[in-house]
């Protein structure tokens, strides 16, 4: 930690000297435009907590997946397993389950309704936006805690260009990413991006002498942009990803802390995932009205096989197959950007409205194989536990609207709301082969409806300083569990009220951005993932009662000198269950919300220094601090506070219309050992918990070319 802080001090101290050698090409921090409010707006003008990570930062920090970017947003934490399908964000104490997330990832306006399809490679991406706080008034059912908005880079209509990057690192890591974009006519542009990433496993099976959690992934994206005239445009985006990975790196938590990245098993597991999506975006900008339509189809499937007892004993194995197809359609009508309605000499109105429709068909077939005598000393046969064979179908519609009044160019009042309705149908079977006990079958359907209002007020103290406050209702529909204890197949909807106030400011002629917010969240009928006592390593959603969360966030970015940027974010969250809350029949009132660190803080800086020889020297350092957290609702185990340091430095050489670059990088520079994700596993895990180590120290170099 001290060494990392020293790196930041060196970067800051070097700023004045390096500034004298640079042309002052940029003397302030450029405005960042975000699209999460469903229209392009300067981030500093939005009355909500939004952290935007633009392409320049994604490239400088070598961010390739969403979990690498979360340290740049306060009060944001990802519970991510080595198996890339399991990635659950937590904002301000609001956590997500796989099938009914409270925080939804949107890719080019299309929601990833199931979290199995969210942890994707960030290829061909222009910006990532972390929006904290309830967004149900605009986004509906699964935005109770916020959204993650991923925006793809647009194909160029002016010139051809592209890039190639080839990282090589320890653990046998290597990869390549390439992209090209350009016009095929004055009004048609195309782009293609693709790549491959491979690494050996971090966790070693000492008994069989092999690593178990290796990764291999191929991915690609293609786009077509057509602008037939000044008012119309259409984009077609097709992307796909094929991952063939090793097993889960789950080990008894007590054993992990004594011997990190070591295990012993009798079965070689594997995980695989395929994701394919297609998006059509159509937009018309008229003199008075803006019309847009977003059509999305997402198809994914996963298969995995694992040693379910996670030991060298031949007791349990699991094979699980899941797949889903979703269709979404949104049509939005709004006032044109420069066509606000004048209600009086000093009062103007802008508005937006829309309708959203979706369907999702999800299926799961999971089989646990129990060795002879495991189910009972009286059963000398191998038994297959089918839990579940399930089909869950979901369809819904939402209608939303928002009006914003501006008074004297200083005071804005925004009032919005959304009405959602959806229908869910379930067919769920659980049984044994051979049929030693009667199985269970559930055929059921339920419908849910909700109204989600939101009100915000903002006041421009001066053009570069704004105060705001908002009140919003959050909503998650109820539904069905694919697998659960008998009688817990269905769960009810969850609702919340959230209050937020904040300030957004620019200082010193735009060289410093400083934002702060305070918030409070109050839940009723909170949905929580609970372990299924009847099936190892399976979870189901249960309503556990109420909860509350409150905290503060601060974000600071400073251009200390041309080419020298310092940044820091910090957030504090106090999330607790209310006194009347029960989970699995046990009281959890007063306990800390799981996967909710008490604080998250990141400090860092980056420097760019042009050299007389035509080289461009660049360096970046950041230290991420994560507070203590609890793994489960009973607070029976957790992770102490830890710190991670990432460093990167390299040179770039301009060559006419292109450039060559080489960068050295190191993540988790001081090899911090930590277990960010674990869950209760009584009986088979001596400590009572299974968990996975966080990523160890990784390092390497990246060769790049731009043209």
Question: Could you tell me how far CA 370 lies from the centroid of its own chain?
Answer: 35
Cβ atoms 103, 114 nearer than 8 A: no
Residue 26: what pLDDT?
52
pLDDT at 18: 36
Cα(356)–Cα(296) distance, integer angstroms? 11
pTM of the model: 0.92
Q: Cβ of 227: how many Cβ atoms within 10 Å? A: 16
- List helix spans (H) across 229-325: 253-258
What CATH number should be reported for the domain whose range is 2-706?
2.40.170.20
| CA dihedral sign of residues 149, 150, 152, 153 | positive
The DSSP secondary-structure symbol of 64 reads -
Measured distance CA(28)–CA(17) in Å, rounded: 18
Whole-number pLDDT of residue 423: 96
pLDDT tens, 470-501? 999 998 999 998 888 888 889 999 999 999 99
Closest CA to 324 of 272, 368, 359: 359
CA 437 to chain centre: 41
Task: Give the H/E segment covering residue 9.
Answer: helix 2-20
Facing residues of 166 across strands?
A: 703
Provide φ and ψ at 138, rounded to 5°: -105, -30
Q: For residue range 215-272, list pLDDT tens digits in order.
A: 999 999 999 999 999 999 999 999 999 999 999 999 999 999 999 999 999 999 999 9
Radius of gyration of the chain (CA): 26
**Among 424, 428, 482, which Cα is nearest to 448's?**
424
Report angle CA 480, 481, 484 to the nearest 5 degrees. Answer: 135
Q: Which of 189, 279, 185, 187 is nearest to 231 (CA)?
A: 187
Q: Which residues in the chain land under pLDDT 70?
A: 1-27
User: Closest Cα partner for 626 from 69, 77, 2, 65?
Assistant: 77
| 519 and 529 Cβ atoms separated by less than 8 Å | no
N residues, the chain: 707
Distances (CA, A) of 79 to 407, 586, 601: 43, 24, 17
Cβ atoms 257, 304 nearer than 8 A? no
Query: How is the chain split into domains, by residue range?
Result: 2-706
What is the C-alpha separation between 532 and 538, in angstroms, rounded?
A: 5
In DSSP terms, 234 is beta-bridged to 226, 282
Contact 40/705 with Cβ under 8 angstroms?
A: no
Contacts of 209 (CB under 8 A, 6+ apart): none
**For residues 108 and 151, is the Cβ–Cβ distance under 8 A?**
yes
Distance of CA 311 to the CA centre of its chain: 32
């Amino acid at each position: 930690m001290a060494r990392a802080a020293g790196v930041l001090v060196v970067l800051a101290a070097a700023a004045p000297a390096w500034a004298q050698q640079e042309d002052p090409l940029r003397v302030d921090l450029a405005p960042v435009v975000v699209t999460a409010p469903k229209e392009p707006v300067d981030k500093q003008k939005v009355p909500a907590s939004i952290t935007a990570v633009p392409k320049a930062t994604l490239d400088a920090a070598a961010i390739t997946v969403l979990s690498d970017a979360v340290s740049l947003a306060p009060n944001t934490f990802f519970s991510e397993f080595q198996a890339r399908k399991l990635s659950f964000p937590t904002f301000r104490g609001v956590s997500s389950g796989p099938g009914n997330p409270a925080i939804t990832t949107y890719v080019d306006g299309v929601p990833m309704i199931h979290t199995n399809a969210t942890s994707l490679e960030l290829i061909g991406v222009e910006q990532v936006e972390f929006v904290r706080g309830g967004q149900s008034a605009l986004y509906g059912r699964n935005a109770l805690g916020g959204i993650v908005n991923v925006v793809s880079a647009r194909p160029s209509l002016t010139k051809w260009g592209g890039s190639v990057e080839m990282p090589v690192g320890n653990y046998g890591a290597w990869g390549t990413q390439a992209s090209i974009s350009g016009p095929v006519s004055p009004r048609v542009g195309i782009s293609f991006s693709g790549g491959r990433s491979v690494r050996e496993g971090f966790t070693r099976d000492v008994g069989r002498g092999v690593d178990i959690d290796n990764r291999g992934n191929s991915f690609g994206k293609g786009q077509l942009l057509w602008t037939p005239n000044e008012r119309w445009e259409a984009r077609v985006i097709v992307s796909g990803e094929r991952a063939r990975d090793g097993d889960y790196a789950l080990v008894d938590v007590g054993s992990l802390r004594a011997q990190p990245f070591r295990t012993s098993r009798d079965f070689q597991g594997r995980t695989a995932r395929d994701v394919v999506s297609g998006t059509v975006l159509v937009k018309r900008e008229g003199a008075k009205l803006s019309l847009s339509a977003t059509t999305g189809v997402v198809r994914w499937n996963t298969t995995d096989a694992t040693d379910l007892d996670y030991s060298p004993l031949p007791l349990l194995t699991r094979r699980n197959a899941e797949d889903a197809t979703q269709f979404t359609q949104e049509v939005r009508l709004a006032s044109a950007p420069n066509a606000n309605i004048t209600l009086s000499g000093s009062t103007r109105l802008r508005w937006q409205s829309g309708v959203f429709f979706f369907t999702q068909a999800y299926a799961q077939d999971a089989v646990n194989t129990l060795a002879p005598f495991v189910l009972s000393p009286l059963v000398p046969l191998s038994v297959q536990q089918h839990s579940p064979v399930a089909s869950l179908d979901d369809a819904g519609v939402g209608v939303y609207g928002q009006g914003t009044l501006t008074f004297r160019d200083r005071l804005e009042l925004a009032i919005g709301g959304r009405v959602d309705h959806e229908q869910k149908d379930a067919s769920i079977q659980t049984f044994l082969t051979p049929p030693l006990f009667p199985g269970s079958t559930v055929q059921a359907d339920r419908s849910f409806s909700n109204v989600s209002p939101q009100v915000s007020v903002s006041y421009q103290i001066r053009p570069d300083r704004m105060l705001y406050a908002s009140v919003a209702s959050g909503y998650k529909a109820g539904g069905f569990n694919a697998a659960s204890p008998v009688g817990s197949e269905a769960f009810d909807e969850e609702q919340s009220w959230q209050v937020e106030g904040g300030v957004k400011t620019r200082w010193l002629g735009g060289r410093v951005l400083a934002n702060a917010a305070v918030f409070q969240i109050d839940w009723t009928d909170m949905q929580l993932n609970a372990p299924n006592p009847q099936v190892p390593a399976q979870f189901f959603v249960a309503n556990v009662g109420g909860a509350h969360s409150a905290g503060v966030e601060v974000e600071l970015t400073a251009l200390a000198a041309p080419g020298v940027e310092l940044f820091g974010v910090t957030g504090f969250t106090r999330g607790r269950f209310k006194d009347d809350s029960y989970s699995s029949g046990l009281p959890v009132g007063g306990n800390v919300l799981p996967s909710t660190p008490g604080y998250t803080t990141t400090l860092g800086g980056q420097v760019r220094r042009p050299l007389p020889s035509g080289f461009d020297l660049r360096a970046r350092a950041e230290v991420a601090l994560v507070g203590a957290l609890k793994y489960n609702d009973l607070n029976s185990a957790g992770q102490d506070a830890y710190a991670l340091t990432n460093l990167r430095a390299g040179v770039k050489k301009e060559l006419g219309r292109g450039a060559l670059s080489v960068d050295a990088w190191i993540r988790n520079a001081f090899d911090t050992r930590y277990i960010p994700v674990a869950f209760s596993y009584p009986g088979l895990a001596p400590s009572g918990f299974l968990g996975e180590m966080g990523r160890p120290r990784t390092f390497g170099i990246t060769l790049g070319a731009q043209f």
